[in-house]
């Protein structure tokens, strides 16, 4: 037997929410009437007949599906744990490898630095005296002008003709104090006491 009840009462009787009632009304799963702006629902007092075998089978199927889902979830968790352990081991071994390489590189650099230092010390020991000698030579071997050379020899009572003769003879003999450029016709004279020429 059908009776007319409000949507709130229908929700309470059927054990649904108000939204569930309105959804079923829209889908024509529940008969309804609008009176004075309010919606009323027809409810049957007869309890529906349920097939217990079907319910039991549905429950078993649901339980089986649920068990399969749990089993799958457990397998995934186990796989994730294994992969995390593997990744942790890989990470640790990679860090150890990098640290060993870093130590080796530092050792190589230190040995190279020691070699360079010893090579530098040897080179300095070999070339330092030569460099100092060269500096002394450079200091003493600055060039003087022809006028200054003439002045030096004139102080030693040499005439201009004698001085010119001394220069020509020194160039012919290959005296390193007199550098004559034939192309530019320029004469460079290194600074010296010239005691052998006076």
The pLDDT tens digits for 21-76 are 999 999 988 889 988 888 999 988 665 554 556 667 777 778 888 888 988 888 99
Q: What's the rounded Cα separation, in Å, for the pair 15 and 61? A: 24
Q: What's the rounded Cα separation, in Å, for the pair 68 and 21? A: 34
Split into its structural domains, the chain has a count of 2
Whether 15 is covered by a domain: the verdict is yes
pLDDT at position 165 is: 92
User: Cα-Cα-Cα-Cα dihedral of 59, 63, 66, 70, to 10°?
Assistant: 170
To the question of pTM greater than 0.75 for the whole model, the response is no
Of 4-13, 68-77, 109-118, 126-135, which gets the smallest average pLDDT? 126-135
pLDDT digits (tens, 9 = 90+) for 138-172: 555 589 999 999 998 899 899 999 999 999 999 99
132's tokens: 């100092």
Sheet with 38-44: list strands edge to edge. 2-6, 38-44, 32-35
Whether 133 is covered by a domain: the verdict is no
Whether 95 is covered by a domain: the verdict is no
Which residues, other chains included, contact 158 with Cβ-Cβ below 8 Å and sequence gap of 6+?
166, 198
Higher-scoring residue by pLDDT: 167, 198: 167
Structural domain span for residue 157: 143-190
The predicted model gives 128-134 an average pLDDT of 66
Whether 79 is covered by a domain: the verdict is no
Q: In the predicted model, what is the mean pLDDT of the chain?
A: 85
Selection from 103, 95, 108, 190 nearest residue 152 by Cα: 190
């Amino acid at each position: 037997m059908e009776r007319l009840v409000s949507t709130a009462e229908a929700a309470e009787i059927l054990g649904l929410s108000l939204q569930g009632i309105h959804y079923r009304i829209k889908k024509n799963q529940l008969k309804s009437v609008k009176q004075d702006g309010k919606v009323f629902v027809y409810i049957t007092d007869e309890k529906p007949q349920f097939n217990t075998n079907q319910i039991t089978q549905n429950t078993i199927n649901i339980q089986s599906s649920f068990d399969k889902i749990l089993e799958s979830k457990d397998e995934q968790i186990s796989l994730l744990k294994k992969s995390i352990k593997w990744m942790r081991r890989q990470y640790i071994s990679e860090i150890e490898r990098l640290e060993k390489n870093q130590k080796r590189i530092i050792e190589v650099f230190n040995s190279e630095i020691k070699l360079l230092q010893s090579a530098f010390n040897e080179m300095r020991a070999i070339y330092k005296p030569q460099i100092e000698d060269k500096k002394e030579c450079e200091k003493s071997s600055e060039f003087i002008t022809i006028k200054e050379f003439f002045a030096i020899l004139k102080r030693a009572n040499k005439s201009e003709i004698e001085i010119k003769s001394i220069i020509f003879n020194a160039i012919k003999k290959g005296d390193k104090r007199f550098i004559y450029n034939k192309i530019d016709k320029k004469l460079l004279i290194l600074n010296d006491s010239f005691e052998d020429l006076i």
